[in-house]
Structure 1
């Protein structure tokens, strides 16, 4: 038995009294955490160039007054010097580790530092591009929610960086921030706090107008800031009873935002427990699971622990393939006792990724030579509790039907509005997406065609290359509700697309779900069913699906409906982009069609069941879907076909007089009006960031102080 003690240095922070004492707004009682109160508010002239320095050490500290009523706290400390200034300059000096971090407002985005509360070591240094209105808030929420309780967290943002905070504002309020609801466009904000505890410091600065930040002290007279006190906490030491525990806490001394791995109060179990089987466990026998990974060990830990806790998971079949992986990744995999290997890859960005995935495919063939299928999963993907159950019910189609080349766990339906529920699957022309299964025959076929780089290619990502160059006319099976979420931000992240392809799309968060129509996905059965409905469908006017009353019209229909739109070739999406928005289907590419036709289901019942909102991250903008019931039979839905003519092979079923939706016949004003009906405009996104501003903030404080 190995026994060890981890050094714990309690930090003591003194409350600095300011000029005026104001009453805490009743709407923000929790900002300092349990058992603490807000002690002072101030309107400070020259706040932009006034600094507060906190030094955390074992035995105490001292303060002295400087001219002009400015407090400076001074203490030499061997481990950490932290300076937080209202001009959004953060300086962290780690003398023990012989390097310095400086994050300044010159770097766009929200800056995040996570510091170990006992060793004063910086665990996380990360910048979130929240000047973008889309997606980065999700990554920010993910990282902050996975910081262990007790860690010191420092954030700052300036200029345009408050624009994209969005749902992260709610999380920050829950963690104790006071000013975050009032951050208008181009205001500056800084916050230092203990995760799960108290605020140490928070400041907001505005410029000459409510939504403008001007770096001139004469305009800072109405800036406000707050400071609080952190009392010393003596918590029980983490349990260290064996070599695994010792390795865990040593790892956590150096790495932050690791979720339950480094939670000292309720740590994740190590070694990882075995997952329970699913009903068709035999269908998963011998199926390899390859996880691709690199230098993002925080993402990787969440992906692996979620995967291995999923019913049906078999740890001995999981194989991690590393590209450029630092020691932090390999140490983590050894801690988890998982099989892994590294491959040497050359190139940059997408060329490097293209070469890397070629090596991954070759390793899959070598590692699982007799596997009936191999599942590939990226390092920043969270799977549903139903992931392996879904695979066990669909993998057989890869061998039974040569017109199917992959099983996708990702759904191409944007939301629940035009599907029938998690117990249904579809087939369509789609690319592999973040978590998928293919056969060894397909892998070998791809390897024979795979070039060694992307030079000279018109395609820069391996997954689209597989779709465009290898699959031919084959299709994939995918669920109507996603069994995975791609939550991470990487080389190819486009914020708008990431928001709607990943964060906005529901992820099934429910026990294994029996599929009702998997047997209908084989080509012969699917074609019979698809054509039977299309032949009996009633055509409707071309713009009908864009009418807000169309869902009610579809609900009252006695049979299938069909809409025709203009499509001249496979990748012609000029009209489908607009029609897809109206239909509530996947509008941003030619994918998700079956032979040039798309299918939507409109409910015939008035009050669809409301899902249970049981996942804590749903409060912060994520979309974990937990149904109260699995849904209705297909008889409770009206089928609506959307057929692209003349490209679709079903064009011959179009009546000669049937109208065709064609954007080439629309004016630019008509297109703009149409698009604004079905999409978020920048003005809508700005609504929640400009309603509150510094004028409103100061007004509320003044009213509460009288």
Structure 2
């Protein structure tokens, strides 16, 4: 792949393997059922056609030694891989192609890497998803996630549609480990198709690496004839029946190492914690993404203190496979109709969820909410049990988040520390029933000034109330779905290391009550050592801190838009330098943002005059002001390297992806 030939020639490489660790067809009848596969990967169009056909095999006679038999088998495989079907293929699946009148630049559907999974015995398609790697950020991780959850022995077809190799990035490592020879050589303009057995052999791999040419693939393979797993009871029969229709379910459908059903009960917490949680329902909002939902449910039900009887899954619409999964797992669920067009139907759905919870659990003190693509730590319920009482008793709070609102790329975390601040409900949160009723009384069934329901609650309903959140996250949002804010997700969510042990005793929860919190914070800021340099300088934070507290005073005005929130421009530049969440003004407490940058050292960023703690700034300490600094200093802030990602796709050049950086730039 190296040298001038790889640079100047149109390279089309086809790989046909003749051996496999998991033979697709150990039995060879005279009439063998086969899959007929044709793939077209190109810049103007993409297409996949899969059909089922029969082929007559040459009969074998007499006896022979094993070595001769082995050689004949290998020759027969090679001979029949390219043979034509004896009958017209019966169409199973046809998809792709660019719609009439559409240009590739304006057409995003089926634009990236398309992954299709077929059942090895039945030949039916059981999974299909488009990974929009042309967006460059984060979706490569979603591709990895799904590849890792394909059942061993299943047939996988991957194809590049239109464009997309520029964002394949770290996924190349997974593809190489699975047997691809071309993945590491894919350039942003490449086209490629790969047909392989998960855990076994490559059937065919074709690529055009250095041109705008199209890649065509045409191959056949036999359907598997090995026996089905033994089903000793009705539950196991239901499992394997379900696995015939849906793929990418991980251990649930792994015939060699299946997960245990029913899901085992999680370890209990102490009596005080279990009593605190006993009357709090856990609501999972779900749709038709069964792979995400199963992973979320298994992590949730494994968390210490989890009670299956407290879990209610609220499904948007009636996706058949989702409902079958919940029946298989014996979980209670309710299906709600989806109303409205575009984003409005999501607003309507979540409002219906809150309405359902207020009616079904009218006497519950609070409810915990999770989306279908949120992984929880084993300590999730322990964390909630220790924060609920404060949520009930402090009227300046409106939620307790399991996700860390202080997530960033340049910090240490302490799993026993909890904070409070102005943030929206995030991935895995608890709110009181009183607040749910307040949401319903305020939330009208019409378009709002936001795109996301949780930001609507933050902006229009919460007032000046704050949320509790841990310094080290108890939840992680891993699912991409239709997420187009992929750069933000990669910068922050991927660095959210979940607490791995449980239970953990939180420190000084009582000191989070608003009066105690303000008193303690004022004392820490007053005693802190001031820092005055450009926050984007590499040596801004001391490498070997001598003190436990540092403070940085920077100019932060009230927003000219609403007069209430911080000025976004000023807030962004300072927080972005330090790798903190900067896409919105969230994460602060009354204008103070806290960064733990060493194990025993924290930095307090105080925005003056916005912050109620502004009076603590000594007169002789200069105020950092992004509006008055020199062009050289501003250049440092604009070109900070803290957020630069480790891009491992060696074939990607600056010119290839420059427009992607511009598109997603804040």
TM class by smaller structure: 0.7 to 0.9
CA 1:423–1:417: 2 relative to 1, 3 Å: farther
TM-score calculated relative to the size of structure 1: 0.77
Q: 1:550 aligns with which of 540, 546, 549?
A: 540
Would you say the 8 A contact 2:170–2:649 is kept in 1? Answer: no
Distance 1:492 1:342 in 2: 24
Q: 1:689 aligns with which of 635, 651, 657?
A: 651
Would you say the 8 A contact 1:542–1:565 is kept in 2? Answer: no
CA 1:246–1:578: 2 relative to 1, 3 Å: same
Distance 2:516 2:630 in 1: 42
Distance 1:678 1:282 in 2: 48
Residues 383-422 of structure 1: matches in 2 within 5 Å? 383-415=376-408, 417-422=410-415
Distance 2:333 2:213 in 1: 51
Matched, 1:90 2:85: no
What residue is the counterpart of 1:65 in the other structure? none
CA 1:206–1:49: 2 relative to 1, 3 Å: closer
Shift of the alpha carbon at 1:437? 0.3
CA 1:575–1:524: 2 relative to 1, 3 Å: same
CA 1:358–1:108: 2 relative to 1, 3 Å: same
Residues 335-484 of structure 1: matches in 2 within 5 Å? 335-415=328-408, 417-454=410-447, 457-484=448-475
Distance 2:412 2:278 in 1: 31
Distance 2:586 2:12 in 1: 52
Would you say the 8 A contact 1:150–1:197 is kept in 2? Answer: yes
Shift of the alpha carbon at 1:251? 0.8
What residue is the counterpart of 1:701 in the other structure? none
Would you say the 8 A contact 2:401–2:467 is kept in 1? Answer: yes
TM-score calculated relative to the size of structure 2: 0.81
SS at match of 1:112: strand
Matched, 1:574 2:569: yes
Residues 671-690 of structure 1: matches in 2 within 5 Å? 671-680=634-643, 685=647, 688-690=650-652
SS at match of 2:137: coil
Shift of the alpha carbon at 1:50? 9.3
Would you say the 8 A contact 1:534–1:562 is kept in 2? Answer: no
Would you say the 8 A contact 1:422–1:479 is kept in 2? Answer: yes
Would you say the 8 A contact 2:410–2:642 is kept in 1? Answer: no
- The runs of 5 or more residues in structure 2 that have no matched partner are 19-23, 54-88, 99-103, 105-109, 560-564, 654-666
Residues 245-644 of structure 1: matches in 2 within 5 Å? 245-279=236-270, 280-415=273-408, 417-454=410-447, 457-543=448-534, 545-552=535-542, 555-557=545-547, 559-569=549-559, 570-603=565-598, 637-644=600-607
SS at match of 2:230: coil
Deviations 1:370-397 (A, max 9, x none): 2221000101111111111111111111
Distance 2:388 2:111 in 1: 46
Matched, 1:655 2:655: no
CA 1:353–1:257: 2 relative to 1, 3 Å: same
Matched, 1:646 2:637: no
Would you say the 8 A contact 2:419–2:468 is kept in 1? Answer: yes
What residue is the counterpart of 1:157 in the other structure? 160
Distance 2:546 2:254 in 1: 54
SS at match of 1:595: coil
Shift of the alpha carbon at 1:442? 0.6
Distance 1:553 1:681 in 2: 20
What residue is the counterpart of 1:114 in the other structure? 117
Distance 1:664 1:686 in 2: 36
Matched, 1:136 2:129: no
Shift of the alpha carbon at 1:532? 0.8
Would you say the 8 A contact 1:48–1:216 is kept in 2? Answer: no
Shift of the alpha carbon at 1:190? 1.8
Distance 2:468 2:647 in 1: 35
Distance 1:550 1:288 in 2: 46
CA 1:651–1:47: 2 relative to 1, 3 Å: closer
Would you say the 8 A contact 2:38–2:218 is kept in 1? Answer: no
- The runs of 5 or more residues in structure 1 that have no matched partner are 1-23, 26-41, 63-74, 208-212, 604-635, 692-706
Distance 1:363 1:438 in 2: 15
Distance 1:90 1:344 in 2: 33
Would you say the 8 A contact 2:285–2:369 is kept in 1? Answer: yes
SS at match of 2:165: coil
Shift of the alpha carbon at 1:465? 1.1
Distance 1:681 1:89 in 2: 36
Aligned length: 590
Alpha-carbon RMSD across the aligned residues, in angstroms, is 3.4
Distance 2:292 2:179 in 1: 26
Would you say the 8 A contact 1:563–1:640 is kept in 2? Answer: no
CA 1:647–1:415: 2 relative to 1, 3 Å: closer
Distance 1:491 1:662 in 2: 38
Residues 25-40 of structure 1: matches in 2 within 5 Å? none
Would you say the 8 A contact 1:542–1:660 is kept in 2? Answer: no
Would you say the 8 A contact 1:48–1:205 is kept in 2? Answer: yes
Shift of the alpha carbon at 1:326? 1.4
SS at match of 1:507: coil
Shift of the alpha carbon at 1:136? 0.4
Distance 2:250 2:354 in 1: 31
Would you say the 8 A contact 2:252–2:259 is kept in 1? Answer: yes
Shift of the alpha carbon at 1:567? 2.9
SS at match of 1:412: coil
